[in-house]
Structure 1
Amino acid sequence: MQVLLETERLILRQFTEADVDNLFELDSDPEVVRWTTNLGQSTPYSVVKMEVLPDIFQDYQKYDNYGYWAVIEKTSQVFIGWFLFKPIVDASYFNPQFVNADDIELGYRLKKAAWGKGYATEGSKALIKKAFSEGVERVVAVAFAANLASIRVMEKAGLKLQTKVIYEENNQEAVIYVIDKSGYEKAYLQSSLTVK
């Protein structure tokens, strides 16, 4: 099992078959999936096992160091969620009007017990630093406009609002946040936005 990176408090590692229960539990909490494309609907266990995990594994075959990454809290060694970090061109909602085909998408989903501890910001900053150290030009993040907590994480990680759009599948307003190389250098290298 490959570890993508470690922060002060987190380990981001590849998913394994043994994570099916972790993913199912995460997606079974209506508050956790409230602002996802499922809009509060849990994902059935059979779908997690037969579709979600195989799709995650397929990303590992397709890309080096991109995909979905299980988040482990270092002190407890407990699974607390995931980070998404992969080319946005693979997203079902990819639209070249709003983002570039070579943009890398940042996303996250954490258990409610892990909310409010700064984990989403900590992991996001570490992934952004990794991206720009490896030659990525832009990192983007997408959220429903009503998901104020996720938007705060994006802003704390240095991303800036680029545009607002309507997500056609459910007619919800969404926001697209972006950080490019120069924005990264200003936010991280010339200010107090540091990665631990």
Structure 2
Amino acid sequence: MSQMPEPFIAQELETGRMIIRKINQGDLHDMFDYCSDSRMTQYVTWQTHTNLEETLSFIQLVENLYLNGEVAPLGIEDKQTGKLIGTCGFVNWNMNHARAEVGYAIASPYWGRGYMTEAVQALIQFGFDRQLVRIEARCHPDNIGSSRVMEKCGMTYEGILHKHLFAKGKYEDVKMYAVINEELLK
């Protein structure tokens, strides 16, 4: 096997339509717009935001993670509008096993338009450029849109992890997907 993966450092990524960047308090209203949409939050592990204070608390938490050099979500900014339309990033980054997991959420008006596929592809490339061997993603079994994103990004469905996480007051199954950096295994 090749060298150990590099440590995670949050940095800006750019795609054709988006800038993937650190979230800041200037994103408060844009983030609240999609975090308060019950359709968007149906399959995430956190509750629908009901006020700006909940969104601000989340942003402050993320800003502290950045300051401490920890893995944290990044914002997805639509280049055309300058609006924050979602988040994506690494949920964990395991250097010992050269493995990471991506997570994401996007405003419902952007569903089915390829934005999240574009963002996740950029994250996968970022991870593989830093010598990761495996990148994983999980979703609720009923979240067809998220499954499609993973498949379009070259991830393989690996199965159901039963009662894998506790969210919104109950244990939930999740579908596991992963993509392997075959180039590093040669």
Out of 145, 152, 161, the position equivalent to 1:149 is: 145
What is the rounded CA distance, in whole Å, between the counterparts of 1:7 and 1:55 in structure 2? 26
Number of residue pairs aligned between Structure 1 and Structure 2? 171
The reply to whether residue 120 of structure 1 matches residue 125 of structure 2 is no
Q: Deviations over 1:111-145 (max 9, x none)?
A: 11111110000111111011101112221111101
Equivalent in the alignment of 2:102: 106
* RCO comparison, higher one (Cα < 8 Å, 6+): 2
Out of 55, 62, 68, the position equivalent to 1:56 is: 62
What is the rounded CA distance, in whole Å, between the counterparts of 1:63 and 1:182 in structure 2? 28
TM-score by length of structure 1 reads 0.77
**Alignment partner of 1:132: what SS?**
helix
For residues 8-157 of structure 1, the aligned pairs below 5 Å read: 8-38=16-46, 41-42=48-49, 44-50=51-57, 52-63=58-69, 66-87=71-92, 103-157=99-153
What is the rounded CA distance, in whole Å, between the counterparts of 1:107 and 1:87 in structure 2? 9
Return the offset for 1:173.
1.9
In 2 relative to 1, CA 21–183 (structure 1 residues): closer, same or farther, beyond 3 Å?
farther
Q: What letter corresponds to residue 144 of structure 2 in structure 1?
A: L
Q: Is the CA contact 2:30–2:83 (under 8 Å) kept in the aligned structure 1?
A: no
Return the offset for 1:104.
1.5
What is the rounded CA distance, in whole Å, between the counterparts of 1:105 and 1:88 in structure 2? 7
Equivalent in the alignment of 1:189: none
Q: What letter corresponds to residue 104 of structure 2 in structure 1?
A: Y
Equivalent in the alignment of 2:3: none
Please tell me the root mean square deviation across aligned C-alpha atoms, in Å.
Answer: 2.5
In 2 relative to 1, CA 184–68 (structure 1 residues): closer, same or farther, beyond 3 Å?
farther
What is the rounded CA distance, in whole Å, between the counterparts of 1:184 and 1:107 in structure 2? 23
In 2 relative to 1, CA 68–34 (structure 1 residues): closer, same or farther, beyond 3 Å?
same
For residues 159-178 of structure 1, the aligned pairs below 5 Å read: 159-165=155-161, 166-169=163-166, 170-178=170-178
Deviates more, 1:100-109 or 1:79-88: 100-109
Q: Percent identity?
A: 25
Q: What letter corresponds to residue 35 of structure 1 in structure 2?
A: Y
What is the rounded CA distance, in whole Å, between the counterparts of 1:126 and 1:53 in structure 2? 23
What is the rounded CA distance, in whole Å, between the counterparts of 1:87 and 1:38 in structure 2? 17
Unpaired segments ≥5 residues, structure 1: 90-99, 186-196
Unpaired segments ≥5 residues, structure 2: 1-9
Return the offset for 1:171.
3.0
Equivalent in the alignment of 1:97: none
